Structure formats: C-alpha cells, structure tokens
Amino acid sequence: MNDHFERYHCQMALPNFGERAQQRLQKAHVLIVGMGGLGCPAAQYLVAAGIGAIGIVDDDLVSLSNLHRQILFTPADVGLPKVEVALKRLQEQNPATQITPHKQRVTSSNALDLIKNVDLVIDGTDNFETKYLLNDACVLLGKPLVYGAIYQYEGQVSIWNAPQPDGTFSANYRDIFPDAENAQIPNCAEGGVIPTLAGIVGCMQANETIKYLAKSTDLLAGKLWMMNMQDGKTQVIHLKKSTTKITTLPESVATITRDELQHMEQGQYTLIDVRSREEHQAFHIGGENIPLDELNHYLDTLSLAKPIIFYCASGKRSAQAVRLIKSRFKVKAAFSLKGGVQGIKS
C-alpha cells in the first residue's frame, strides 16, 4: 500500500479524485487499437497512471519512418512487431499493469470479440476503414470510443458513443463524419505530420480516458476538441446527440502483403496502380495505372476473371478502390496491397 500510495500520490491528491478514483483506474480494462503516433503516448500515460489492464492491437512492424513520432520505439526496434516492443517497454514502466498484445489487424470478423470485454476503446488508427469499424463495433456493444486524429498541423479528439444521463448516447463517428472514407485526405506518410502533434493528441486521449474511468462529468463526449499547432489555437465544437442507426459491421477490405504478391505468378492476377500518373512515372511495381479519381470510369472495362490487386503509396487509396469495385460488382477477389509501395526503392 505504501508503494501504491507513493506512486500515485500526485493524482490521488487532486480535488475530486482521491483513492476511490484510483481504484476505478486499477479495475479498468482499456483497449488501444494502433500502436503508432497516438497509441504510443496514450499507452505510456495510461500505464503510468495505473490502469489495471490494457490490450494493445497492431499488426505492423516498426519502420524507420515511424521513429519521429512513435516514441516507444528506437532504431534497434526497426523490423520488429510493434506490439511486442510496446509490451516490453510498457511492462518495464509499470509491472502492475496487465498488458495483452494482439498482433493482428482489426477486421469485421474479430472486432466484436476484441472489444466486448473492455470498458473503453482508444482509436489510435490512421485510416478511415478501421475508424468506422471501431465506431460501429462500439455502438453495437455500447462501449465508449476515445477518438483521435492528426493531419499535418491539426489534431482532433472526442469521446464517441458515451452513455448520457438520459439513457441516450453522445455522437458517434458516423454522426459527425458520414462520408470521411470517400475523402481524398492523405495519411501521415503522404501528407506529413509534425511529431509533437501526435504526442499532444495521444496525451489528450489518455486524459479523456482517465477522466471517463474516474467518472468525471466534464468530458469531451458530445464535443469535438480541435488544435492547430501552427498558431497554437484550440477550439471545442458542441455536437448533436447520436442519430445514426447501426445494425451490422462494415465488411473489411481484403489485403495482400508484398511477400504474398511476390509469390504469385504473373498472369494469375490483374495489378492496378491507383496513384496519380506522376507518382506512377516516378516509380511503380508494374500493372496498369488508373488514378483513383478516374477509376469509376474504367470499372466496366476491367476483367473480373482474375483477382484484382490495387496498390498505392500507403494502402489508403487502394482500399478505397476495393470498396468502389465491390460496390459495383459482386466480386470477391479484390485486394489492397498492404502498406502500399512506400519505402520500396526503385
């Protein structure tokens, strides 16, 4: 008890916090999806604060381009699974926290199982498909989702689907961003991001998590917090209550890895680069070049006799291409190249 008191004394000394709130944190089970720029600082502060159990989900490996903002990792970790490295570092920080790694991608087939037994989910992902999937799974299971997003110099935080005193729920992601997956917004690798923004937004997500679990009444539920790092300005927008009805999970986009593609024989599949013509001319791995914004006009000319594999810089535009072709045709063999071609040398 003395060690417990000394470690958490500064937060237990806060007005309206105390030992009771600390006990709530120690009994809590949080799931963090995405151990990247947001998930790393969120996990570090939640472990430091004494959250009892944390699940971390990510199927990616540490790359050199991650290191400027994903602060759990070092150059020696490049090539290693993110969840394995994070597990080691977080456990060293606080051995009392039970940390469960999930080296897997969140899909429509496993999302509900991952979420059903936790108290709260933190969205540390960087793609719209997974954001919608997490949102819908949390709505179906009645779980709060702490949202975070970063782009260049701008960041956002909110708590989706939080229960309200009148029995309703706060706004969810689809209420506020119903068509985000169709927007042409680059991810961090394509559009860039200042590293300190990831730390601030990840810490804000951890802060809202602590407040929610400690039963604070002043949350970012029903609000959208926004920050611009260029001028330091912040603002909070008040949101309407949830009106979107969700009954099922969206189907996940099928992916194929670079290794799997290399082991396929040419002629067995159709390869399409959905990047711009300038990107294709600068470097490509073969296949036809049909930019994403032109793909809709070419769909009727595509042969569906063989599997179609779309690729882009990071996998975002190619995932949109898969959704587009599957919305038009009843085709099962359509894939997005996981991770795209970023990092491949010509």
Q: List residues with catalytic annotation.
A: 188, 312
Q: How far apart are CA 283 and CA 279, in angstroms?
A: 6
Q: Are 8 and 50 in contact (CB under 8 A)?
A: yes
Q: Are 56 and 34 in contact (CB under 8 A)?
A: no
Pairing of strands 234-238, 98-102: unpaired
- Those residues whose C-beta lies under 8 Å from the C-beta of residue 253, and which sit 6 or more positions away, are 129, 319, 322, 323, 336
- For the purposes of burial, counting CB atoms within 10 Å of the CB of 13, is it exposed (0-12), middle (13-18) or buried (19 or more)? exposed
Q: How far apart are CA 309 and CA 334, in angstroms?
A: 6
Q: Which residues pair with 255 in a beta bridge?
A: 336
Q: Are 81 and 89 in contact (CB under 8 A)?
A: no
In the block, tokens 């008890």 appear at 1
